[in-house]
Amino acid sequence: MTGIVHFEIPADDAQRAKKFYSNLFGWNITGIPGMDYMMIDVYGAPGGGMMKRMHPDQQIINYIGVPSVDEYAAKVEKLGGKILVPKKAVPGMGHFVVCMDTENNAFGIWEMDPAAK
């Protein structure tokens, strides 16, 4: 079964956004050493991340857990969607692909893989 496993919030001012979401929802948001990325714990469980906005139109993106990003990326294209960011590894965690659906909505697919390099 698939479902949303992670979300990312782009921010022009990460500290301002951290303060906003922490105060609004009570989320614990902490930086990752050596990375320009913060993890968001939603009520005690990892739920999302926050990073510097990479382009002016970048919006919040949801990642849906799948058993194989390769298989699902192929299905995205077969069904008329597009691949925006090809398969990338997050070392020690897994792989992701960012896609666009037929209605121009971006979303990600995520495959857990502790052996990812």
- Over its length of 117 residues, how does the chain's per-residue pLDDT go in tens digits? 689 999 999 999 999 999 999 999 999 999 999 989 999 998 888 899 999 999 999 999 999 999 999 999 999 999 999 999 999 999 999 999 999 999 999 999 999 999 999
- Whole-angstrom CA distances from 56 to 13, 35, 53, 88, 98 are 13, 21, 7, 22, 17
Contact between 51 and 10 (Cβ < 8 Å): yes
Indicate the pTM of the whole model: 0.90
pLDDT at 1: 65
pLDDT at 45: 80
- Every domain of the chain with CATH number 3.10.180.10 lies at 9-54, 66-117
Give me the architecture of the 9-54 domain, per CATH. Roll (3.10)
Radius of gyration of the chain (CA): 15
* CATH, domain range 66-117: 3.10.180.10
pLDDT at 2: 82
Q: Given the structure tokens 């997050």, which residue do they identify?
A: 90
